[in-house]
Structure 1
């Protein structure tokens, strides 16, 4: 099985306009350190899954920005995690992980996020579910 080709980047490591995917694949800075390649189509900040799927269908490697656009405040209308739940994920992190999984399922391969470790784990899970990589651990239940 081929290794999935997801790239997880942090904000500030990618340059280029978010609107450039409208017509042709824009250039995104290729820093030589795992940054997005120059042939990546930038779908912008939190695009619709349909838009991502359309860009993938055109043959582009799609970059999505799961972070909030500059100047946009995080949501405050969501309730906090219930007290006493071990491993509760902060709402901004959970929001970006959920977006990344939907975009990965739609075909995006490059992600910009403030929570790279959590997003990487979610992308590994998506790749396992899609059959693009074997699961990290296989357990059989004997009842």
Structure 2
């Protein structure tokens, strides 16, 4: 499932289950639920939290920094092997 990134004012689906801690995210994601997390306001904290929560199984993120968080989530998915990279290059030495 591709991650969903929302701004704080956007409407959330009732099927999304909110989680506040990393442990809750892991437990609820292991149960097969679509987990929603709200990210902190500072950009650096939001990016770090998004990557960690994504690796733990969260699928919906609410943040003020939608574009930056979306890029961080795509990078996290590429590094974890769940999404192919958008561009690959072969380096010749």
Query: What's the TM-score, normalizing by structure 1?
Result: 0.60
Q: Give the Cα–Cα distance (whole angstroms) in 1 for the partners of residues 90 and 53 of structure 2.
A: 30
* In 1, Cα distance between equivalents of 2:46 and 2:65: 7
CA RMSD of aligned residues (A): 1.4
Higher helix share: 2
| Higher RCO structure (Cα 8 Å, ≥6 apart) | 2
CA deviation vs aligned residue, 1:110-138 (integer Å, no higher than 9, x gap): 00001000000001111111222210111
Q: Which runs of 4+ in 1 moved over 2 A?
A: none
How many aligned residue pairs are there? 93
Q: CA deviation at 1:60?
A: 0.9
Contiguous gaps of at least 5 residues in structure 2: none
TM (norm. structure 2) is 0.90
2: CA distance, partners of 1:94 / 1:117: 13
- For 1:32, the equivalent position in structure 2 comes to none
Structure with bigger gyration radius = 1
Larger mean Cα displacement after TM superposition, 121-130 or 105-114: 121-130
Residues in 2 aligned to 1:38 and 1:51: alpha-carbon distance in whole angstroms: 18
Unaligned runs of 5+ in 1: 15-35, 69-91
